[in-house]
């Protein structure tokens, strides 16, 4: 099994950064829009959305770069590496969305 180094460029890292950055861009706004039942709240916090975009993209790069190659080697598939990298990119997005939900309800 291949053990990629931290920050190494691979297909899983690429899938992780794409998933993490796009998801992070809307993670805070989606929670506010759902709780407030108003689509205009999706883009109501541009500075926090930008910070979430940067943080989720960077963490998605690292997690996707670690999870993706391991899953790809296990199933002998390049598509599995993409899937593992995308899953690694979803982890910070879900954490930010849970944080936004907690902050909005308390």
Q: Calculate mean pLDDT across residues 34-50.
A: 94
3-state DSSP of the chain: CCCCCCCCCCHHHHHHHHHHHHHHHHHHHHHHHHHHCCHHHHHCCHHHHHHHHHHHHHHHHHHHHHHHHHHHHHHCCHHHHHHHHHHHHHHHHHHHHHHHHHHHHC
pLDDT for the residue 1: 66
pLDDT of residue 42: 93
Q: Please, which pLDDT band fits residue 7 given cuts at 50, 70 and 90?
A: confident
pLDDT value at position 10?
A: 92
For the segment 1-19, the average pLDDT, to the nearest whole number, is 88
Give the pLDDT band of residue 65 (cuts 50, 70, 90).
very high
| 13, two tokens | 């890292």
Share of the chain above pLDDT 90, in %: 89
Q: Given the structure tokens 């943080």, which residue do they identify?
A: 55
- Say what the pLDDT of residue 2 is: 67
Instruction: Provide φ and ψ at 38, rounded to 5°.
Output: -145, 120
39 pLDDT more than 70: yes
For residue 4, pLDDT over 90 is answered with no
């Amino acid at each position: 099994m291949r053990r990629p180094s931290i920050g190494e460029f691979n297909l899983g890292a690429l899938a992780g950064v794409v998933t993490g950055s796009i998801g992070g861009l809307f993670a805070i706004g989606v929670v506010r829009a759902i709780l407030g039942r108003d689509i205009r709240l999706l883009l109501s916090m541009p500075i926090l959305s930008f910070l979430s975009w940067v943080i989720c993209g960077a963490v998605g790069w690292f997690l996707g770069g670690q999870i993706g190659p391991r899953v790809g080697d296990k199933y002998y598939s390049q598509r599995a590496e993409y899937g593992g990298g995308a899953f690694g990119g979803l982890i910070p997005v879900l954490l930010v969305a849970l944080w936004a939900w907690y902050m909005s309800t308390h």
